[in-house]
C-alpha cells in the first residue's frame, strides 16, 4: 500500500490525474472504475480540463441508489453525467440500474459486466466508518454485486445532498469488495479530519470485515492519496 500525502483536495486530484494519465498513455486503461460523491470531483475536474481521450475506455461505477431514476438529480447516473460523462465521452458507461424490476437479476448482470470488463483502475472514496462503495462494516470480503441496506451513519452523511433526511434512499446496489479487489490498481482518495480514524484503521489496524477498507492492505497496487488532516493519525 502506497500513501501519498497532499496539501488539499485540489492537489489530490492532480496526483490522481497523473496516475490515470500514465495508465491511459501506456495503453493499459481499458476499463476505468469510478466513484461518486464530493471526494473525486477534483480528479474529474482535472480529467475534463485535459486533452485525454476516453472514447476507447469503458467505465464502471461502484454503486447506485435503489429507487432513483437516471434523470433524478440525486442519482449517481446524473452525478456522473454532470461531472464527467457529458464533457468526456467514454466508449460505454456502466452503472447499476436502481429501478430494475428484478434487483437480483440486475446484480448478476452487473457482475457479468465487471467480469467482461476487468477493471484497470478503480477510484474509491472512504466513509467515516471505512466503508468502500456501499460495503458497510460487516460486509463480506468475498462479496460481489449486491443489495445493501445503508447504515444510519451513511444515510446521515449523504443527507447533505437531499432536501431532508427522509428523502435519502435507504438501499443501494453496490459492487462488492471481491469485485473491487479484482481491480489491477486501486486509488483511494480521502480528505479531511473526519476521515482520519477510518484511514488509521485502514492502514494500521487489523484486516477485518468490520473495517471494509482494511482489505486494501492485501492489494498489490493500492494507492492512498490523502490530505494532512486525513493522515493526522498515521504520521
SS (H, E, C) 87-128: CCCCCEEECCCCCCCCHHHHHHHHHHHHHHCCCCEEEECCCC
118 Cβ contact list (under 8 Å, min separation 6): 30, 31, 182, 184
Residue at 174 is within a domain:
yes
Residue at 210 is within a domain:
yes
Task: State the Cα–Cα distance between residues 38 and 157, nearest whole angstrom.
Answer: 12
* Strand, helix or coil for residue 136: coil
pLDDT score recorded for residue 202: 98
Catalytically annotated residue among 61, 94, 117, 129: 129
Residue at 125 is within a domain:
yes
pLDDT score recorded for residue 85: 98
Catalytically annotated residue among 77, 83, 131, 219: 131
Residue at 232 is within a domain:
no
Residue at 49 is within a domain:
yes
Residue at 219 is within a domain:
yes
Residue at 235 is within a domain:
no
Residue at 60 is within a domain:
yes
In the numeric block, the cell 486509488 is attached to 187
Task: State the Cα–Cα distance between residues 123 and 101, nearest whole angstrom.
Answer: 28
pLDDT score recorded for residue 44: 99
Active site residue 129: yes
The C-alpha angle with vertex 227 and arms to 217 and 174, in degrees rounded to 5, equals 50
pLDDT score recorded for residue 152: 87
Name the residue range of residue 84's domain. 2-227
Structurally, the chain folds into a number of domains equal to 1
For the four alpha carbons of 201, 207, 208 and 209, in that order, the dihedral sign comes to positive
Catalytically annotated residue among 77, 136, 219, 227: 136
Give the CATH number, domain containing residue 109. Answer: 3.40.50.1360
Q: Which residues of the chain have pLDDT under 50?
A: none
8 Å CB contact between 229 and 192: yes
Task: State the Cα–Cα distance between residues 171 and 128, nearest whole angstrom.
Answer: 18
Amino acid at each position: 500500500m502506497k500513501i501519498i500525502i497532499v496539501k488539499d483536495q485540489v492537489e489530490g486530484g492532480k496526483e490522481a490525474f497523473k496516475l490515470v494519465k500514465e495508465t491511459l498513455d501506456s495503453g493499459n486503461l481499458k476499463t476505468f472504475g469510478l466513484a461518486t460523491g464530493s471526494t473525486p470531483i477534483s480528479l474529474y475536474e482535472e480529467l475534463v480540463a485535459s486533452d485525454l481521450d476516453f472514447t476507447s475506455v469503458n467505465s464502471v461505477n461502484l454503486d447506485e441508489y435503489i429507487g432513483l431514476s437516471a434523470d433524478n438529480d440525486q442519482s449517481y447516473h446524473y452525478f456522473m453525467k454532470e461531472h464527467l460523462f457529458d464533457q468526456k465521452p467514454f466508449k460505454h458507461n456502466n452503472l447499476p440500474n436502481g429501478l430494475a424490476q428484478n434487483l437480483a437479476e440486475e446484480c448478476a448482470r452487473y457482475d457479468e459486466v465487471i467480469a467482461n470488463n476487468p477493471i484497470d483502475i478503480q477510484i474509491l472514496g472512504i466513509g467515516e466508518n471505512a466503508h468502500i462503495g456501499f460495503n458497510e462494516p460487516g460486509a463480506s470480503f468475498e462479496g460481489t454485486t449486491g443489495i445493501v441496506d445503508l447504515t444510519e451513519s451513511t444515510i446521515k452523511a449523504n443527507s447533505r445532498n437531499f432536501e431532508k433526511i427522509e428523502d435519502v434512499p435507504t438501499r443501494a446496489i453496490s459492487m462488492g469488495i471481491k469485485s473491487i479487489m479484482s481491480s489491477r490498481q486501486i486509488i483511494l482518495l480521502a480528505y479531511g479530519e473526519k476521515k482520519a480514524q477510518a484511514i488509521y484503521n485502514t492502514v494500521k489496524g487489523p484486516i477485518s470485515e468490520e473495517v471494509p477498507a482494511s482489505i486494501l492492505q492485501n492489494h498489490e497496487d493500492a494507492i492512498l492519496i490523502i490530505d494532512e488532516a486525513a493522515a493526522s493519525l498515521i504520521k
